[in-house]
Amino acid sequence: LKPAFERYRSCIAATKRNYARLQQLSAIGMGFSAMWKEADFFKECQTLNRNAGWWDQLTQSNIPFDRKLFEQSPREYLAKFVPTILSKSALNLNFTLKISAAYGLHADHVLLVFIKMILLNAAEAEHESDQVYRNRVKDAASKVANREALCALLFKGCLPYISAYNYERLLFVIKLIGSIDLADRSEGATAAAAGAPGPAIDAASAATIRAFCRNGELLLGVLMHYKRNSERGAYEVSFNEQRAAAAPKLDVGSAPAAAP
């Protein structure tokens, strides 16, 4: 069998970046290894078959990736690669969730990155009505198992970086934070969040966040109907420029969406 294995591996090496063919060859290898009862070789072909399938979809969607790093540690690589997949696939959440699930990456990780990219990317908002982007964020937020991680992301990772003049978006995020039940410690909620990434929020912090949201809603309700009578001062301009400069740079590309 040794010559057959060597010949098979040489065929695999020859495929290079033809991942569709690589997937076909690995499927053939799985069949032969099962017939020859070669468990180790079967596992090798099975892993290659799965990888090649996703590599082909990434390539077809014009999403560049590092094959070597992918093979070395798929889950860890994908955890860092999620923003690129979302960006290059025009925020195709379904595809990103599927490839992440295939390698055991928790869905919360993808959902939280997706939410942050929409809320902090002004260019993306220009192409969608307010209601569309809100619905996308609400839908993703409803699927996050770890509610505390969602709250932390919105409160610390998004709210400070939204334009101080974008009252509608600020109000939307504050209301979304206020709608999160941080007191839910039911058995079902705990089980759903098991293994989900994110920090824990103690009772005191939760109370502070709720108070902040109540006051924020009142203040923004006034500001949204306030008409300026003078130009912005130098301090105000400088403050908001520094605030904008500190915001994470998240670019949403216009590449063709990945296959659903």
Residues 46 and 4: their CA atoms lie apart, in Å, by 18
Biggest CA pair distance of the chain: 85
C-alpha distance from residue 165 to each of 107, 168, 169, 202, 217 (Å): 32, 9, 9, 31, 14
Q: Please, which pLDDT band fits residue 184 given cuts at 50, 70 and 90?
A: low
Q: Give the residue among 6, 8, 3 at the shortest CA–CA distance from 26.
A: 8
Q: Between 110 and 224, name the one with better pLDDT.
A: 110
Cβ–Cβ < 8 Å for 96, 117 = no
pLDDT at residue 254 above 50? no
41: tokens are: 């070789």
Residues 4 and 160: their CA atoms lie apart, in Å, by 61
pLDDT at residue 35 above 90? no
Angle between helix 93-102 and 74-88 (nearest 10): 170
pLDDT at residue 186 above 60? no
Interval 181-191 mean pLDDT: 56
Residues 208 and 113: their CA atoms lie apart, in Å, by 25
The pLDDT tens digits of the residues spanning 124-171 come to 544 556 788 899 999 999 999 999 999 999 999 999 888 888 889 999
Indicate the average pLDDT of the chain.
82
Residues 174 and 197: their CA atoms lie apart, in Å, by 22
Q: Please, which pLDDT band fits residue 230 given cuts at 50, 70 and 90?
A: confident
